[in-house]
Amino acid sequence: MKLLIMGAPGAGKGTQASALAARYDVPAISTGDIFRANIKNGTPLGVKVKEIIEAGEYVPDELTEEIVADRLAQDDAAGGFLLDGFPRTMHQVHFLDRHLADRGERLDAVVSLVVDPDVLVERLLDRARIEGRADDNEDTIRRRMEVYAGQTAPLLYHYEKLDLLVEVEGTGTVDEVRERMLDAVDRHTAAR
Ligand code: AMP
């Protein structure tokens, strides 16, 4: 299975990605987690992306794509993967399309978690209190929402046209959303 999970900041991508990856026995690959690990360890990549991420902006496409290409080349991703937080721009969509086409592969489904914007801001402020993520302060949250709406939301149309989009209502408890999502993906992939 080759899957994507998309959603605005705070939609619950990271949380639900683990369940989805476990269900299909594929690695969950989060570009955000890769960047955060590099920042924490002070690697050259981390130094390069720290300020960008803390400002709520996107890391440049070429840099992000290089990281994804390296990660997808690892053995555990040979049989499938779940990308969490990639692609986020049309440039990245084209990169992924080419990457898969070169290997004669294609995506199976693109999950989009849909959550009301007011709920999103509340969740992110809660997460800021609990996890202390540097990009979870109010100004950055607002900026991340804008960037998502401008650059990433349009990607949903692209995947809808390809009949890959599985929209899942992301409000409710973590368990409710997980069951709803797994059912929806099962139904989508069974129907293909
Ligand atoms: P996330 O954990 O997915 O919310 O990502 C956290 C931050 O990492 C984002 O707000 C971006 O600054 C950066 N980031 C993660 N994935 C990407 C991507 N595909 N393209 C550009 N920037 C990204």
Dist. CA 168–CA 170, nearest whole Å = 6
Is 13 part of the annotated catalytic residue set? yes
Most ligand 1 atoms within 8 A of CB, residue of 6, 58, 143 to mutate:
58
pLDDT of residue 95: 98
Residue from 23, 48, 127, 180 carrying the catalytic annotation: 127
Active site (annotated) includes residue 127: yes
- pTM, two decimal places: 0.94
Residues of the chain where predicted confidence (pLDDT) is lower than 70: none
CB burial class (10 A; 0-12, 13-18, 19+) of residue 186?
middle
pLDDT at 138: 84
The predicted pLDDT at position 75 comes to 97
> Given this model, what pLDDT does residue 52 score?
97
pLDDT score recorded for residue 118 = 85
